[in-house]
Amino acid sequence: MDENAPGLSSPLTVLKGVGPALAKTLSRLDLHRVGDLLFLLPLRYEDRTTLHRIGSVKPGMRCLVSGEVLLAETVYRGRRSLLVRISDGSGQMTLRFFYFSRQQEAQFTNGVSVSCFGDVRPGPVGLEMVHPEYRVLRKDQQPVVTDALTPVYPMTEGVQQGRLRNLVAQALTIMKKAPPAELLPAEVLNELDLPTLSAALQYLHSPPPDTDLASIETGRHPCQMRLSFEELLAHYMSLRHLRNLANQEGAQPLEAGSALQRRFIDSLPYTLTGAQNRVIAEIGADLQEPHPMMRLIQGDVGSGKTVVAAAACAQAVAGGVQAAVMAPTELLAEQHWSSFCGWFKDLGIELAWLSGSQKKSQRQTSLEAISSGQANIVIGTHALFQEGVEFSNLALVVIDEQHRFGVHQRVALRDKGASGKVHPHQLVMTATPIPRTLAMAAYADLDTSIIDELPPGRQPVTTIALPDTRRAEVIGRVRDACSDGQQAYWVCPLIDESEVLDYQAAEASYQMLTESLASLRVGMVHGRMKNSARDKVMRAFKCGEIDVLVATTVIEVGVDVPNASLMIIENSERMGLSQLHQLRGRVGRGAEQSHCVMLYKQPLGQLAKSRLGVLRETNDGFVVAQRDLELRGPGELLGTKQTGLPDYRIANLVRDADLMPAVQKAAEVIHLSHAKSEYHIVSRWLGHAHHYGKV
């Protein structure tokens, strides 16, 4: 083979018709090299393998026809249109164009033959195609009938389908001469009965006419699964590599079962659940190791994750080192501060507070206590890890609601407490239960502990769904409950009225409830308020100075208010199940039986009915999360923008979840017997700049 011939790693400019301008445009589709085109899979396919007689086509068909122009005219019936009448002897059809040039108009002279591909629909005078793809044929030229299905690719402005198809065809030709390396071992391909990479790519860009399009539409065709499998494998191995790097780093070993930790647990006004004790033991074993713990605690709302984290902090303090606890919001951090101060005030443990809103003098005092080592446990927001914060001997980092920070920040935090070759242990927590297969893919760099038991005495929240036509009835229920000394949340998705989305806005609800509940104290919080103003209202609610709190979903992860026993959620049919479950978890924290009322706008579709039905039937966050994952996908469940959850080019974590056990197994096989392939698999899918490149 010619060594100078273009290969898959060559820039796109080696392809015919690609100059610097087009190359820049293609970069918007993340296309930079010839090989990138092979992984731009079609969105769907069109069947141009058969030329249909006009007399045989029916409305609803999308097909290829050809005929002779009988008449072409520009008409002005409501809007300017070009109508072209064609016939092939078996029937007639009209081609309708709303956007056309004089040059196009001049092409359609009587007697000229054209081939057209498009959607057939009924028209005023028979069947028609609106803006079909067409080709004016030369004399005696036959319509082009393909021998494979025609791919339809994702588009970007400035690149037509025909151009993309031509470029992919050129890339396929290059691939045949110099195929990409087959990085999956033969034993893995054989066991899963998957095709080679080259065969899968060739098939997906140019499927034969008898292809089972139904399996391709579901993403479960063997050729698609071949690509999805390797992509999932790349992400999994990358995260496992991060974990292996951590295992090679040093950490301060912290002895488990210290007297200080036992005193802390014995001082609690309640007995820990079996699940809490099990997770404390798992963390304790990790902390004894001479390399950093990287553990995720999953637990439903109210399962007692914070006290487990406090036990880990006690183990760290007993070892003579510092612990830091970080929460995503100042309000939640303050709640941890309050809890930790109550738990540790009589145990001789010094605590420090650090947040962005601190006065300069208070911040300076905290910084000095932190850097000197006087502060044993430091609690705050992301301000803990900003420049200027120096720890004396930080050995444990606890991150609450970790899905708001993401994998990149987890990696960055590993370096904050680093001293020489010693790194801090990491404990991350989430109240968003994550289905096992998603956790395997998204958190492969973490060990997972699950607190799957609620403290005794906690009553499940009673959940009902009502049409918003019964709002007055619900308001009466709120009035009665608050008159008896209880408190209520009233949650709305938007702040202001929207002409586009017919939501019940928080501002409107606040006005309505203030008038309807004149005898009660009504407050409001929303995302546009300054943090200080929002926190002031939340504190007033927690202290019982507000009876009804109107809020947007900013209270989804919020302050513990045991006296709040009613949760009203407007437009519940538009929210995700996990979000609704998180909101519901704001109540049910006291002795009173709590209730959640999900108001919805009629008519309610079948899908929305089944979704709300899940919440009525279960209080188990893992069941809710699994259903939410199936319905909406991982990005919605975890909040892709916040999590750093990777964007997959081909794989789908919900659709392909069943591949994850095989992905784990293949990763072990490759690591043990084909180690050189690891880096290349990760580089193919994630690029050379990924963390894997640290090797």
What is the rounded CA–CA span in Å between residue 440 and residue 41?
A: 26
Task: Work out the average pLDDT over 134-153.
Answer: 92
Residues 425-455: tens digit of each pLDDT: 999 888 777 777 777 777 788 889 999 888 7
Q: Which pLDDT belongs to residue 604?
A: 82
557 band by pLDDT with thresholds 50, 70 and 90: low
Per-residue pLDDT of 59-113, as tens digits, reads: 999 999 999 999 999 998 878 999 999 999 999 999 999 999 988 889 999 999 9
Q: Is the pLDDT of residue 555 over 90?
A: no
Residue 240 vs residue 286, higher pLDDT: 286
Question: How confident is the prediction for the chain on average, in pLDDT?
Answer: 87
Higher pLDDT, 81 or 619: 81
- pLDDT band, very low/low/confident/very high, at 534 (cuts 50, 70, 90): confident
Whether pLDDT at 643 is above 50: no
Q: What is the mean pLDDT of residues 611-620?
A: 86
* Residue 147 scores a pLDDT above 70: yes
Residues 6+ apart with CB under 8 A from 543: none
Confidence of residue 633 (pLDDT cuts 50, 70, 90): low
Q: What is the mean pLDDT of residues 382-408?
A: 79
User: Is residue 570 within 8 Å of residue 630, measured between CB atoms?
Assistant: no
pTM recorded for the entire structure? 0.71
The alpha carbons of the chain give a radius of gyration, in whole angstroms, of 31
User: Which of 390, 385, 386 is CA-nearest to residue 371?
Assistant: 390
What token pair was written down for 122? 């009924």
Residues 400-411: tens digit of each pLDDT: 875 555 555 656
Helix (H, G, I), strand (E, B) or coil at 244: helix
User: In the prediction, which pLDDT does 559 show?
Assistant: 66
Beta bridge mates, 121: 128
Q: Which two tokens stand for residue 604?
A: 């309610």
223: pLDDT strictly greater than 70: yes
Residues 619 and 662: their CA atoms lie apart, in Å, by: 31
**Residues 417, 328: contact at Cβ < 8 Å?**
no
pLDDT digits (tens, 9 = 90+) for 335-365: 899 899 999 989 999 999 998 888 999 999 9
pLDDT above 50: residue 579 = yes
Residue 519 pLDDT exceeds 90: yes
Assess whether pLDDT exceeds 70 at residue 482: yes
pLDDT tens digits, one per residue of 582-598: 888 888 877 789 999 99
Residue 645 pLDDT > 60, yes or no?
no
Domains belonging to the chain, first-starting first, are 50-145 (2.40.50.140), 259-451 (3.40.50.300), 462-618 (3.40.50.300)
Mark out the alpha helices in 560-605 (DSSP H runs): 577-584
pLDDT at 87: 96
Q: What are phi and psi of 224, to 5 degrees?
A: -70, -40
338, two tokens: 């309050």
Higher pLDDT, 78 or 274: 274
10 Å CB burial of residue 341 (0-12, 13-18, 19+) is: middle
Please list the alpha-helical segments (H only) found in 430-489: 436-442, 471-483
Q: Which residue has the higher pLDDT, 649 or 72?
A: 72
Give the CA distances from residue 521 to residues 24, 45, 485, 491, 494, in Å, rounded to whole numbers and listed in that order: 59, 60, 12, 16, 22
State which of 402-411, 501-510, 562-571, 580-589 shows the largest mean pLDDT. 562-571
Lowest-confidence pick of 11-15, 113-117, 241-245, 472-476: 241-245
| Residue 552 in this model has a pLDDT that exceeds 60 | yes
Residue 76, beta-bridge partner list = 80
- How sure is the predictor about 532, in pLDDT bands with cuts at 50, 70 and 90? confident
Q: Cβ(528)–Cβ(495) under 8 Å?
A: yes
